[in-house]
């Protein structure tokens, strides 16, 4: 069953969500050609630990060796930062941040452009963010989770992109991952019904080619099988009495976008 959060737990979730968003805002200035993803990881790690006095949730989670996930171009998710991965002009990269503070997690990610990406890459990123926003706008008590997946799938397919079905959004709270699962495809009026106090991520992964993925030999990095581009955006959402609240909203974003 989905974990309904108490008022005090929700306050802690808001703190964690805000901290995660601050990390994404901070790292943007460093995401430039010539930097390695390992350097980005180190900057985020130091900021989370030293500035925010928090814990990077991915570090040592089920053996994951780094503090953030960095997924470039045809990498879908869970990319491991490394000294060998140097950002270059034209790349797109997803940086995925999860922060734990007071035993509660906040999880968010966004796409960054390195220099000037292709028109296709820009359009993929724009449509992926639109998929997330359209899904968030629906969230309220009484909604079936199938409606979230259906609106994402419909918007992606309409734009000639595909939805990754191997990975999904998830409940979040004291646990990095908990119930419910939030699929990014589905049928309206199916699945569990949202209730006030639920907290979960919506994090569509959208491909420019086919939907199939595979995991690389490192046991973590997920890529598109056809090496087509992939994009992802993610926010942590709270179901409120009348609708929803985005717990990981950034200063560059407008609350009205999600209403």
Q: How far apart are the first and last CA of the chain?
A: 27
**CATH number of the domain to which 55 belongs:** 3.90.230.10
Query: Residue 175 CB: number of other CB atoms within 10 A?
Result: 14
Instruction: Give φ, ψ of 102 to 5 degrees.
Output: 55, 35
In angstroms, the CA 98 to CA 227 distance is: 27
Per the domain annotation, does 1 fall within a domain? no
pLDDT at 1: 63
Per the domain annotation, does 39 fall within a domain? yes
Query: How many domains are there within the chain?
Result: 1
Cβ proximity of 95 and 31 under 8 Å: yes
The sign of the torsion formed by the CA atoms of 233, 234, 240, 245 equals negative
pLDDT at 5: 97
In angstroms, the CA 239 to CA 242 distance is: 8
In angstroms, the CA 136 to CA 148 distance is: 8
The Cα-based distances of 27 to 15, 42, 173, 179, 221 in angstroms read 19, 11, 24, 30, 21
pTM of the predicted model, to two decimals? 0.97
**DSSP readout, the chain?**
---PPPHHHHHHHHHHHHHHHHHHHHHGGG--TT-BHHHHHHHHHHIIIIIS--EETTTTGGG--SSSEEEETTEEE-PPP-TT-B--TT-EEEEEEEEEETTEEEEEEEEEE-SS--HHHHHHHHHHHHHHHHHHHH--TT-BHHHHHHHHHHHHHHTT-EE--S--EEE-SSSSSEEEEE-SS--TT-SPBP-TT-EEEE--EEESS-S-EEE-TTSS-EEETT---EEE-BEEEEE-SSSEEETT--TTS-GGGG-
pLDDT at 235: 98
pLDDT tens for residues 121-131? Answer: 999 999 999 99
The radius of gyration of the chain's CA atoms, rounded to the nearest angstrom, is 17
pLDDT at 90: 98
Per the domain annotation, does 161 fall within a domain? yes
Per the domain annotation, does 47 fall within a domain? yes
In angstroms, the CA 128 to CA 110 distance is: 10
Cβ proximity of 185 and 151 under 8 Å: no
Structural domain range at position 193: 7-258
pLDDT tens for residues 96-107? Answer: 999 999 999 999
pLDDT tens for residues 7-63? Answer: 999 999 999 999 999 999 999 999 999 999 999 999 999 999 999 999 999 999 999
pLDDT tens for residues 197-212? Answer: 999 999 999 999 999 9
pLDDT tens for residues 215-254? Answer: 999 999 999 999 999 999 999 999 999 999 999 999 999 9
Per the domain annotation, does 2 fall within a domain? no
pLDDT at 3: 84
In angstroms, the CA 35 to CA 41 distance is: 11
């Amino acid at each position: 069953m989905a974990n309904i959060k108490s008022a005090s737990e929700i306050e802690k979730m808001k703190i964690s969500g805000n901290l995660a968003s601050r990390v994404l805002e901070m790292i943007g200035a460093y995401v430039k050609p010539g930097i390695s993803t390992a350097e980005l990881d180190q900057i985020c790690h130091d900021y989370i630990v030293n500035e925010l006095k928090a814990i990077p949730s991915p570090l040592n989670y089920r053996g994951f060796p780094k503090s953030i996930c960095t997924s470039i171009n045809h990498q879908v998710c869970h990319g491991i930062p490394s000294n060998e991965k140097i950002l270059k002009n034209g790349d797109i990269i997803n940086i995925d941040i999860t922060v734990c503070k007071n035993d509660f997690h906040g999880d968010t990610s966004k796409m960054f452009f390195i220099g000037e990406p292709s028109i296709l890459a820009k359009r993929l990123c724009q449509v992926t963010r639109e998929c997330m926003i359209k899904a968030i706008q629906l969230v309220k008590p009484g909604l079936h989770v199938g409606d979230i997946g259906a609106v994402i799938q419909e918007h992606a397919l309409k734009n000639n992109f595909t939805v990754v079905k191997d990975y999904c959004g998830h409940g979040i709270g004291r646990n990095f991952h908990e119930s419910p699962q939030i699929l990014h495809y589905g049928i309206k009026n199916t699945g569990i019904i949202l209730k006030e106090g639920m907290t979960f991520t919506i994090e569509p992964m959208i491909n420019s080619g086919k939907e199939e993925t595979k995991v690389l030999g490192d046991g973590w990095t997920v890529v598109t099988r056809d090496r087509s581009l992939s994009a992802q955006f993610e926010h942590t959402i709270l179901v409120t009495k009348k609708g929803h609240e985005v717990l990981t909203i950034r200063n560059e974003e407008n609350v009205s976008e999600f209403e």
